[in-house]
Structure 1
Amino acid sequence: MNTSTHYDVAIIGAGMSGLAAGIRLAHFGKKVCIFERHNVTGGLNSFYSIDGRKYDVGLHAMTNFVRAGVKGTPLTKLLRQLRIERDEFALCEQKRSRVAFGPRGEVSLTFTNDFTVFESEVARQFPAQIDGFRRLVALIRTYDDVSLGALPESARTVIRRHVTDPLLEDMLFCPVMYYGSATEHDMEFGQFVIMFKALFLEGFARPLDGVRVILRVLLDKYRAAGGERRMKCGVQKIITRDGYASALLLDDGTEVTATHVISTVGAPETEALLNSQLSSLNSQLSAPTGALSYTETITVLDREPSALGWGDDTIVFFNDSEKFTYARSEAQVDTRSGVICMPNNFDFGPDTHLPEGLFRCTCLASYDQWVNLPEDQYLADKARWYAEIQKSAQRFLPALPTPDALAKATLATDMFTPRTIIKYTGRLGGAIYGSPQKIRDGRTAIDNLYIAGTDQGFLGIIGAMLSGISMANFHILAGGK
């Protein structure tokens, strides 16, 4: 065997989970290589450059934030397992965020990284529901959401045992769904718990320079531990023999072998690598492709959003309809609900600011109605929906001083669609949150092939990294015991 092409562990994908798994394994002396088809790391949470500006992809905020000294949380576990000092991530807390429902956000719940703020908001807006809400929170605090063998249960069924007002129910579901749910209309309760803790019981933060800081720290740790990384070197096929992944066929036609393989590219996408008849994928996948995709507009401003009168809101989850609908969009874009993010509104310190203003708006979108458009129609539809998304989002913000104030403050714009997602991530159906069917123990039909990342079931940036760590620990360092 050519030892230069054999690894203890081969990792497919250099996203957050792949990097974290690689660091953990390399710390324990494993010979590890990460294979990534693209030229940047981060996967679903990365960045790109246009005209010298760097734009974050995915990261609105790092969830699961807790302050120094708080123990027993996902963030503190992550830092310990990867041997990262918390100052290395340079996290700055959100100022405040909101869940806003109604045609113009008439019912609003503010929250910060102090959970008592959200609790008091629920008591103010829904006084008859506060006792049930507190019972629900008590259940969430004690629920073992990281159990690899937990039985699935409908989150809406559980919530309705405690919360009887449909409006409050939907206002609780909207943020956790937009920030992590691959399931239409409902969630598995364990997934709901993960996201509720991440958003409300813990909180939001980000580095001043965005996702690049996190990726830089992970790459430095991986290199220092001795891990290898092959960029612009994707895996086109997983070769199996006798129920084992015996080799990886790379895009350049070469093969490498590994004792273990961790795939972070998604469960359906991993099955595609095992399947030589790619044209019949839809009928052969046992892990269903996710139905939910998104589009996002990014507007660069010559001033901070607060200078337009938009205040200190960091993130606003909005819904204009009587009922919150979280499902595959019937139109190219569903502007009834979405997420507004203003990255300037994190507390970077009294004399520290982002160099330009940023205004990001995310909505559900239809992959099928974007993917095969002719280029001229694609560009025209992007321009049309960019305007519609901005118009929808502004209903949930204070009125501008003049109708043209936003246009006058705009320096640059960009927009990604479901077509962009599949082009740069390979996610089937443009499904950012992957398959609705999660594989909690990471096992596949192939004995030495494991799933990590979104389709393993941990959510968010911290969750993705913990997924990589847990799969490395459980299947390789502890032998799957």
Structure 2
Amino acid sequence: MYDTLIIGAGMSGLAAGIRLAMYDQRVCVLERHTTIGGLNSFYRLRRRDYDVGLHALTNITPKGTKKGPLARLLRQLRFSWDDFQISPQLGSRIAFPGRRLDFNNDPQTLTDEVAREFPSEADNFRRLVAAIADYDDLTDEHQQLSAREVVASHVKDPVLVEMLFCPLMFYGSAREHDMDWGQFSIMFRSIFLEGLGRPHSGVRLILKNLVKRYRSLGGELRLRTGVDRLHVEDGRVAGVVLDSGEVLHAKRVLSSAGWCETMRLCDDGQPVEVAGPPARSPGRLSFCETISTLDVDPKQMGYDRTITFFNDHDRFDWTVPTEPCDLRSGVICSPNNFDYAADSLDDGRGGRGVMRVTVLANYDYWNDLGAEAYQSEKLRWFEAINESAVRFTPDYRSRVIDTDMFTPTTIVRFTGHDNGAVYGAPEKQLDGTTHLENLFVCGTDQGFVGIVGSIVSGIGMANLHCLKD
């Protein structure tokens, strides 16, 4: 009998496991795949290492800061700042037609940029920043408020509104067209007021530290161990039935699989899509991402932006595209352009630079392709995505020496999220409770997104629901 069984060895599941093992719980993390991390993981291909998921850590406050999600994460899991070797961004950009806003980890930079590009909005922008609540936790009240309505009450220029929403939606909105005010406030603060950074050796360092700490505390991790169903009796999970047929028992179960995915595991007939309020249905927003390894550091080509959020028209359309990929907007990330040595990412084969381009994608299109068509479409859209990106960067395509690409079906394979929805369901279960008294959710569908958000979610739900006795 375990105290807690955790479904999923992503960031939130591992963080919850550490927190519970600290208090001598008998805890086991179950992972269907052969490795940890979900989509925020890494792999090796043709003797090169690739990160997936992670572009940057958000909430990067300076070393020694006592407040904020990163400080809470380090404190609750008993890590130090140096354990993650975080390098800050060099500087990022929001690029719209004829407009640009640069920002870095100094909030004053964006304030100055708004005043330069939109002088009549300078005071309005300052009032918006002041109105953003200084809190760490989402609330039901803020979840019901439209961020577009609140922002429009402060900022009048529609292009500036779209430019502010573009990065926040790409990095954390499961809802089409809009965000709830609470999520907008958290994402605004995490990106614009705190900042972006990256561990020197990428996501693998975070995962390595989480697993090492978890196992050192006696936590059990079982890879290649999928959950077939949750057997329900008398309003409780009575047994966790594995794909192998083995049945595990625990006082409680904490699932990071997602709301709809967790409900589907329950064998009591609980509807996967729950009628409101609040209505809960799977998310629909997914991505394609291309990864290009270059034979040169991007800075040698004159490109020093860490991340460029681009949109080629004045209105930013955050919705499922009708085409296989939406080439009008996207995110360009260069992992080289953080504040560390230029040769630190040299892979030993002459590859010195990486350009990653992420765009919205249509899951149904990619899922309906046969195997041969899928491969040919990946080649076609790889070229199209990069052609779209080089409108906003130097043309790096002649310097590419290796490539890879993922699609919405890749996301489904490694996360299990319906429709390849990276940010899960639009409606979040902020308190993590379900219809069963000993089943709880953490991670994306609890309410926080990104690596820091996922870890904080695991910590918070472990504290709230699993450390009662």
TM-score past 0.5 threshold:
yes
The superposition leaves residues 351-387 of structure 1 with CA deviations (integer Å, 9 ceiling, x where unpaired) of 7454321000000000000002111111111111111
The superposition leaves residues 329-368 of structure 1 with CA deviations (integer Å, 9 ceiling, x where unpaired) of 1110001000000000011147745432100000000000
Say if 1:45 and 1:59, in contact at 8 Å, map to a contact too: yes
Question: What SS class does the counterpart of residue 464 from structure 1 fall into?
Answer: helix
Tell me how far apart the structure 2 counterparts of residues 61 and 147 of structure 1 sit (CA, whole Å).
Answer: 22
**What is aligned with 2:241?**
249
**What is aligned with 1:425?**
415
Tell me how far apart the structure 1 counterparts of residues 57 and 383 of structure 2 sit (CA, whole Å).
Answer: 28
Alpha carbons of structure 1 residues 385 and 277: separation in structure 2 relative to 1, 3 Å: farther
Tell me how far apart the structure 1 counterparts of residues 437 and 231 of structure 2 sit (CA, whole Å).
Answer: 13
**What is aligned with 1:460?**
450
Tell me how far apart the structure 2 counterparts of residues 216 and 308 of structure 1 sit (CA, whole Å).
Answer: 33
Q: 2:124 aligns with which of 132, 137, 142?
A: 132
The superposition leaves residues 288-323 of structure 1 with CA deviations (integer Å, 9 ceiling, x where unpaired) of 0101010000001111112223x2100000000121
**What is aligned with 1:371?**
367
Say if 1:145 and 1:191, in contact at 8 Å, map to a contact too: no
Matched to 1:327, the amino acid is T
Say if 2:232 and 2:268, in contact at 8 Å, map to a contact too: no
Say if 2:261 and 2:272, in contact at 8 Å, map to a contact too: no
Say if 2:232 and 2:267, in contact at 8 Å, map to a contact too: no
Tell me how far apart the structure 2 counterparts of residues 9 and 53 of structure 1 sit (CA, whole Å).
Answer: 37
**What is aligned with 1:403?**
none
Per the TM alignment, residue 281 of structure 1 is displaced from its structure 2 partner at its CA by: 5.6
Is structure 2 residue 205 aligned with structure 1 residue 210?
no
Tell me how far apart the structure 1 counterparts of residues 94 and 370 of structure 2 sit (CA, whole Å).
Answer: 37
**What is aligned with 1:332?**
324
Gaps of 5+ in 1: 1-5, 401-405
Say if 2:273 and 2:280, in contact at 8 Å, map to a contact too: no
**What is aligned with 2:403?**
413
Is structure 2 residue 135 aligned with structure 1 residue 144?
yes
Q: 1:303 aligns with which of 284, 296, 301?
A: 296
Question: What SS class does the counterpart of residue 465 from structure 2 fall into?
Answer: helix
**What is aligned with 1:176?**
168
Alpha carbons of structure 1 residues 283 and 77: separation in structure 2 relative to 1, 3 Å: closer
Question: What SS class does the counterpart of residue 49 from structure 1 fall into?
Answer: strand
Say if 1:145 and 1:190, in contact at 8 Å, map to a contact too: no
Tell me how far apart the structure 2 counterparts of residues 208 and 312 of structure 1 sit (CA, whole Å).
Answer: 17
Is structure 2 residue 280 aligned with structure 1 residue 287?
yes
**What is aligned with 1:223?**
215
The superposition leaves residues 171-201 of structure 1 with CA deviations (integer Å, 9 ceiling, x where unpaired) of 0000000001000000011111111111011
Q: 1:344 aligns with which of 320, 325, 336?
A: 336
Is structure 2 residue 11 aligned with structure 1 residue 8?
no
Is structure 2 residue 255 aligned with structure 1 residue 263?
yes
RMSD: 1.7
Tell me how far apart the structure 1 counterparts of residues 128 and 200 of structure 2 sit (CA, whole Å).
Answer: 35
Question: What SS class does the counterpart of residue 54 from structure 1 fall into?
Answer: strand
Matched to 2:421, the amino acid is A
Tell me how far apart the structure 2 counterparts of residues 33 and 463 of structure 1 sit (CA, whole Å).
Answer: 22
Aligned residues: 462
**Percentage of matched positions with identical amino acids:** 49
**What is aligned with 1:33?**
28
Say if 2:7 and 2:257, in contact at 8 Å, map to a contact too: yes
Matched to 2:112, the amino acid is S
Tell me how far apart the structure 2 counterparts of residues 247 and 384 of structure 1 sit (CA, whole Å).
Answer: 47
Matched to 1:469, the amino acid is I
Alpha carbons of structure 1 residues 235 and 334: separation in structure 2 relative to 1, 3 Å: same
Gaps of 5+ in 2: none
Tell me how far apart the structure 2 counterparts of residues 334 and 351 of structure 1 sit (CA, whole Å).
Answer: 33
Say if 1:180 and 1:195, in contact at 8 Å, map to a contact too: yes
Question: What SS class does the counterpart of residue 446 from structure 1 fall into?
Answer: coil
Say if 1:46 and 1:58, in contact at 8 Å, map to a contact too: yes
**What is aligned with 2:61?**
66
Per the TM alignment, residue 29 of structure 1 is displaced from its structure 2 partner at its CA by: 0.8
The superposition leaves residues 254-293 of structure 1 with CA deviations (integer Å, 9 ceiling, x where unpaired) of 0001101000010011011114789x96699963010101
Tell me how far apart the structure 1 counterparts of residues 223 and 318 of structure 2 sit (CA, whole Å).
Answer: 36
Question: What SS class does the counterpart of residue 29 from structure 2 fall into?
Answer: strand
Question: What SS class does the counterpart of residue 335 from structure 1 fall into?
Answer: coil
Say if 2:68 and 2:136, in contact at 8 Å, map to a contact too: no
Per the TM alignment, residue 125 of structure 1 is displaced from its structure 2 partner at its CA by: 0.6
Question: What SS class does the counterpart of residue 380 from structure 1 fall into?
Answer: helix
The superposition leaves residues 87-109 of structure 1 with CA deviations (integer Å, 9 ceiling, x where unpaired) of 0100011100000011xxx2100
Tell me how far apart the structure 2 counterparts of residues 76 and 407 of structure 1 sit (CA, whole Å).
Answer: 40
Q: 1:77 aligns with which of 69, 72, 75?
A: 72
Question: What SS class does the counterpart of residue 413 from structure 2 fall into?
Answer: helix
Tell me how far apart the structure 1 counterparts of residues 308 and 265 of structure 2 sit (CA, whole Å).
Answer: 38
Tell me how far apart the structure 2 counterparts of residues 92 and 322 of structure 1 sit (CA, whole Å).
Answer: 33
Per the TM alignment, residue 453 of structure 1 is displaced from its structure 2 partner at its CA by: 0.2
Alpha carbons of structure 1 residues 476 and 81: separation in structure 2 relative to 1, 3 Å: same
Is structure 2 residue 377 aligned with structure 1 residue 386?
no
